Amino acid sequence: MVFYLDSFVLKTMILLCFAVTLIFRVYLSIALCQIGTIKNPYSINFPGPKGTYCSHSLNIVHSENWSGSGSSIDTDFDDCTNMALVDNWNYWFRWRGMRTSTDDIIVAYCATRKAVQNVYENYVDLGCGIGSTLLIIARNLEPHLSTGVEAQRISSALAMRTVAELPVNVPKIDILNMDIRDMISTHTLRSDNKEVPMSRFWFACDLITANPPYLPPASGTYCKDQQKMHAHFELRGGVEDYCHVASRLLAPNGRFFLSFWCKNNGDLRVTRAVEMAGLVIIEKTQIYLGKVTLESTPFPAPPASPTLIVYEIVRQDMDSCHGSDIRQTSVINELDLRVPPNSSSGHSDAYIGIRKALKLAPAPRR
């Protein structure tokens, strides 16, 4: 009986010590995050002014006022990992969620290949997801300010963590957790418990990129994973909204690079959306993806319809700056990235060349 009581008391004391230690670590983490000693990569809301937090000498903005309700992100941390993306920059992603996709890389390649000026002042990636395109362009073109806007909380949290862990001497990168449609609204953003006009945060962007979802709502079976579902289905606006927002943010001489899949009359939708937004398509890059299964010489010609198209878009009034009608100068390029049957890497030589040109890590073998 005495031995039973001693064991019970000992176990109770151990549990109490563990609980006290855990509580102490939680409050210590809160205190350190408040003074900026450690990073807050998961958008956990600590006591203090809502709306923003800064880390690693970069202005990482988290705006919970713009996307849904609730005060935390339901993240499966065991499913998160990081790996090399571009040069010496790593990025965070979920194994069962969204990673860097081919269209992310292609739109970044088109934007960097067609860079019309040496230094960009203000670059924005609409619907940046986990930040793949944003990081690739930020590393290659080094704009003075790069901003990623993402409405989905888990994706923006991963992008925030990625940016927070970049080297200290990188150009300024912001991540905004907000709906892109609210960027041009008359609402205000709460910061330091004050109401600040939304117009204060935006000025003319000389470079904009977007890789929006391409499936209309209810046009297919939704993915069980929320991150994948929002990446594929237009649950927060379609390409029409992306074009409308870009038309309001684009500088007179700015460039807007939009990637869109050709399924469901995608090319026609983009053409109409661009026209309605008061923009002009000056160049199309038609991308052909897939794998050629039969060996033939010469290599078979691309199919009639491309897999996706990257559009280079400008404002309609840009032609007044050049003294010519830019609407008559539309160019169509082709980029064949289909994998030949004898490829040892599982990728085409053209795709491998694009990755090297962008300083990307070697492509994993398929």
Top-confidence residue, 69 or 115: 115
Higher pLDDT, 133 or 7: 133
Alpha-helix residue ranges (DSSP H) falling in 69-224: 102-113, 132-141, 153-164
If you ran DSSP here, which 8-state letter would residue 79 be given?
A: G
291's tokens: 């794998």
Which percentage of the chain shows pLDDT scores above 90?
41
The Cα–Cα gap between 149 and 123 comes to 11
Number of neighbours of residue 342 by Cβ within 10 angstroms:
7
Taking the CA of residue 246 as centre, how many other CA atoms within 13 Å lie in the half-sphere pointing to its CB? Answer: 40
pTM score > 0.85 for this model?
Answer: no
Which pLDDT tens digit goes with each residue over 104-146?
999 999 999 987 666 789 999 999 999 999 999 999 999 999 9
CATH of span 42-357: 3.40.50.150
Q: What digits encode the pLDDT tens for the residues 136-161?
A: 999 999 999 999 999 999 899 999 99
pLDDT beyond 90 at 357: yes
Per residue in 15-50, pLDDT tens?
888 788 777 765 655 444 433 333 333 333 322 222
In the chain, where the domains are located: 1-38, 42-357
pLDDT above 50: residue 51? no
Q: For 272-316, write each residue's pLDDT tens digit.
A: 999 999 999 999 999 999 888 776 656 777 787 899 999 999 998
